[in-house]
């Protein structure tokens, strides 16, 4: 998957949304932009040596929460996000199943790069 954003929070949000779309196509569109109908909330606090590892670890935590709750997480609010630390709340809703099973978010070839249009990340999932 490729994700793009003008800033690190936008990039992480785009990757977060992209993974949700893979898990349950169209689910987040049903819940609205601020996830008004979401009834599950989780906090994620992580640190990592760099932004690529932080992104994979963040998505892995979201994926774990998705399977534990049988939910799709559609909204994220960052209270702290830099290249090595993240503190975020994620909001989701149970759907009772997924369209696609993601086994893992991999570190293989993960890359965040600066382009003329902002930041771009390439993330590989084990499906």
* Model confidence band, residue 113 (pLDDT cutoffs 50, 70, 90): very high
Domain ranges of the chain: 2-126
Average pLDDT, the chain: 95
Give the tens place of pLDDT for each residue, 73-104.
Answer: 999 999 999 999 999 999 999 998 899 999 99
* pLDDT > 90: percent of the chain: 89
Give the global pTM: 0.95
Q: Cα(11)–Cα(46) distance, rounded to whole angstroms?
A: 17
DSSP state of 36: T
Give the tens place of pLDDT for each residue, 49-68.
Answer: 999 999 999 999 999 999 99
Q: Cα(17)–Cα(36) distance, rounded to whole angstroms?
A: 16
Q: What torsion do the CA atoms of 76, 80, 85, 91 make, to the nearest 10 degrees?
A: -20
Q: At residue 114, does pLDDT exceed 80? A: yes
CATH 3.55.10.10 fits 2-126, yes or no: yes
Q: What pLDDT score does 68 carry?
A: 96
């Amino acid at each position: 998957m490729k994700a793009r954003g003008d800033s690190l929070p936008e990039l992480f949000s785009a990757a977060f949304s992209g993974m949700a779309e893979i898990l349950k196509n169209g689910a987040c569109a049903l819940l609205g932009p601020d996830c008004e109908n979401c009834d599950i909330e989780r906090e994620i606090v992580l640190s990592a040596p760099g932004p690529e590892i932080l992104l994979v670890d963040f998505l892995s935590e979201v994926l774990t929460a998705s399977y534990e709750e049988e939910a799709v997480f559609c909204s994220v609010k960052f209270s702290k996000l830099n290249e090595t630390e993240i503190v975020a709340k994620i909001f989701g809703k149970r759907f009772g199943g997924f369209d696609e099973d993601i086994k893992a978010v991999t570190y293989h070839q993960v890359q965040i790069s600066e382009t003329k249009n902002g930041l771009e990340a390439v993330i590989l999932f084990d499906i």
